[in-house]
Structure 1
Amino acid sequence: MNNSEKISAHYHHGTLLSAIQVGLEKLGIRPENASVEDLGPVDEFHIGGRIASAHFLDQLEITSTQSILDIGCGLGGSARFVAKTYGANVTGIDLTPEYVETGTVLCDWVGLSDRIALHCGNAQALPFENASFDGAFMMHVGMNIEDKAALFSEVSRVLKPGGKLGIYDIMKTNDDDFIYPVPWATTSATSWLAEPKEYRSALEANGLQIVKEEDRRDFAMAFFEKMKAASDAADGPPPLGLHVLMQQSTAQKIPNMVANLQAGRISPVEIIVTKPR
């Protein structure tokens, strides 16, 4: 099994679509009546969920005339948010077939199939023509990609001159021993955390100019505190949430990620870049 297959296997659920449907039904929502907002708790697989998406994606200044690439799209939650909020056409790509298949159904449920196309593929070998996209983004993806330079070479290739790329990844902030499992990896075998300076180097080496960088650690800490308080008050998780994706491993992965964050080993970081005209 190569690394791509190992990563895909890590995220494979088995009965994901039916699990989401059950969660919706517990909330009194029929799938055909579901909205992008209804699905947000389960299909935004990154720290901060929909709140983080809005803060991050607003910086890309996406418009309704643009074609946007969602790299590592997962279930397509962020793609649906972009299509609904900004009116853009979105293409997503992800390694995990079940995520792509499930995400395609979810797009149909919320009536966005005409503006979103999700594909199964590798971000280091994008199946798109040069200068195909007005903008691109990736959210909590780089931790599963060893060769950041190869990744950003491909992204730069498919971006149009003047296009923006947004990155919202968990990045390494010290050299202390890391605690596994975490949401993106069970062991270090499929985890390639990198420092912000490594991202900057790989981006600049591929002709991309950094516009802004922001460490979102304080936001992340507040987010997890609120999530725990809500769970404690409700005596358990809600019908829909990231626990639906991670199943029984949620009880280990989330506390480990929070512990790594508290210890200063990692931090969620946003980087906004442009491709020169």
Structure 2
Amino acid sequence: MTNDPSVHHNVPSSLDVGPLHDEQTETADGTAVDGNIHLGYWDSAMDNRSLNQATDRLTDLVAGRLAAAPGRRLLDVGCGTGRPALRIARATGAHVSGISVSNEDIDLARTRADAAALADRVDFRYADACALPFEAASFDGAWAIESMMHISDRTAALTEIARTLRPGSPLVITDVLLRSPVTGDAAESVRQTCRAFQSPSFPEPAELRTALDRAGLEVVDFNDIGEHVRRTYQAFADAFADVVPSADDPHYEFFNSTRSLPRFGALPQVGYVFLVARRL
């Protein structure tokens, strides 16, 4: 937990983040990230991948831990505009169901699926992670790329995800991680970033482990890959430098500053979790 309780915000459910994703969808599609609204992965300081290539690289790392194959059913919790789901379905032959609390995300994801001739293997629908519209044991695997940060009751969401997984199936989670308590200017940066991304708080290691355990999910791997993704914060600031949000946008002040996101990303307390769990 942070030492400053005001870093945390009371968000009743993941549905509250829908309008934010609608706004991000309007700006992210067609920029250097080409619809990928998540962090990228670089192997080393010498890795010269573009931001777009690095975000796809993170998706591929997730896919590699899903044991995906033709005939298997996978769940994408927080599918965004559908790019990761389409990439994984195309590469593995699996069927993917994606959910989001953004109607604009869903519309664009469906359009992308049609354009990619993958609508028969990928479907998208509006749904809350805490109340999934799927029967028990429906999926052979699931992933959540930067979804947990938006959910206030992570135990409830993980319990729902576990309910939809068949025994032994993997869940892969990647997300911004708060490694240790923050105070002073660092706490203010975290608070501003939480507010901008409508996050109740960024997940912390002990909290995630406890929530996974309570949900009946066994941790297989729990790694902090923060140094491999840290370049993204400046890259995103550069990618969106020419995008001017409307002045009445509640996130205007944060996103209109090219310094806010890189300042947050440079904090040593900010990491990035890549974890694999298994339904017991």
TM-score (norm 2): 0.77
Distance 1:147 1:41, change over 3 A: same
Q: Is the 8 A contact 1:16 1:102 kept in 2?
A: no
Task: Write the distance in 1 (CA, Å) between the matches of 2:25 and 2:216.
Answer: 42
Q: Does 1:13 align with 2:13?
A: no
- Corresponding residue for residue 209 of structure 2: 200
Task: Write the distance in 2 (CA, Å) between the matches of 1:174 and 1:131.
Answer: 36
Task: Write the distance in 2 (CA, Å) between the matches of 1:215 and 1:150.
Answer: 23
Matches within 5 A, 1:1-277: 3-13=13-23, 16=26, 20=29, 23=30, 41-48=33-40, 49-176=55-182, 177-179=187-189, 181-182=192-193, 185-186=195-196, 190-224=199-233, 227=235, 250-252=255-257, 255-276=259-280
User: How far is 1:224 from its partner?
Assistant: 4.9
Q: Is the 8 A contact 2:89 2:122 kept in 1?
A: yes
The one-letter code sitting in structure 2 at the alignment partner of 1:142 is M
Q: Is the 8 A contact 1:8 1:96 kept in 2?
A: yes
Q: Is the 8 A contact 2:99 2:126 kept in 1?
A: yes
Q: Tell me the secondary structure at the aligned position of residue 213 of structure 1.
A: strand
Q: Tell me the secondary structure at the aligned position of residue 6 of structure 1.
A: helix
User: How far is 1:135 from its partner?
Assistant: 0.2
User: How far is 1:270 from its partner?
Assistant: 0.6
User: How far is 1:142 from its partner?
Assistant: 0.6
Instruction: Please say which of residues 211-220 and 169-178 is displaced more in the overlay.
Output: 169-178
Size of the alignment, in residue pairs? 244
Instruction: Please say which of residues 67-76 and 43-52 is displaced more in the overlay.
Output: 43-52
The one-letter code sitting in structure 1 at the alignment partner of 2:36 is E
Task: Write the distance in 1 (CA, Å) between the matches of 2:210 and 2:236.
Answer: 36
Q: Is the 8 A contact 1:140 1:169 kept in 2?
A: yes
Structure 1's unaligned 5+ residue stretches are 25-39, 239-245
User: How far is 1:261 from its partner?
Assistant: 2.7
1:64-96: CA deviations, max 9, x gaps? 221000001111111011111111100001111
Q: Could you say which structure has the higher helix fraction?
A: 1
User: How far is 1:248 from its partner?
Assistant: 9.3
Q: Is the 8 A contact 1:72 1:94 kept in 2?
A: yes
TM-score (norm 1): 0.78
Q: Is the 8 A contact 1:83 1:116 kept in 2?
A: yes
Q: Is the 8 A contact 1:131 1:161 kept in 2?
A: yes
User: How far is 1:173 from its partner?
Assistant: 1.5
Q: Tell me the secondary structure at the aligned position of residue 42 of structure 1.
A: coil
Distance 1:275 1:228, change over 3 A: closer
- State the Cα RMSD in Å: 3.1
Instruction: Please say which of residues 1-10 and 143-152 is displaced more in the overlay.
Output: 1-10
1:135-192: CA deviations, max 9, x gaps? 000000111101111011101100001110000011112222042554x7427x6432
User: How far is 1:57 from its partner?
Assistant: 2.1
User: How far is 1:251 from its partner?
Assistant: 4.3
1:79-138: CA deviations, max 9, x gaps? 011111111100001111111111111111111111110010100000100000000000
The one-letter code sitting in structure 2 at the alignment partner of 1:262 is A
Task: Write the distance in 2 (CA, Å) between the matches of 1:129 and 1:154.
Answer: 10
The one-letter code sitting in structure 2 at the alignment partner of 1:77 is R
Structure 2's unaligned 5+ residue stretches are 1-10, 41-54, 244-250
Task: Write the distance in 1 (CA, Å) between the matches of 2:227 and 2:14.
Answer: 32
User: How far is 1:256 from its partner?
Assistant: 2.7
Task: Write the distance in 2 (CA, Å) between the matches of 1:202 and 1:2.
Answer: 17
- Corresponding residue for residue 28 of structure 1: none
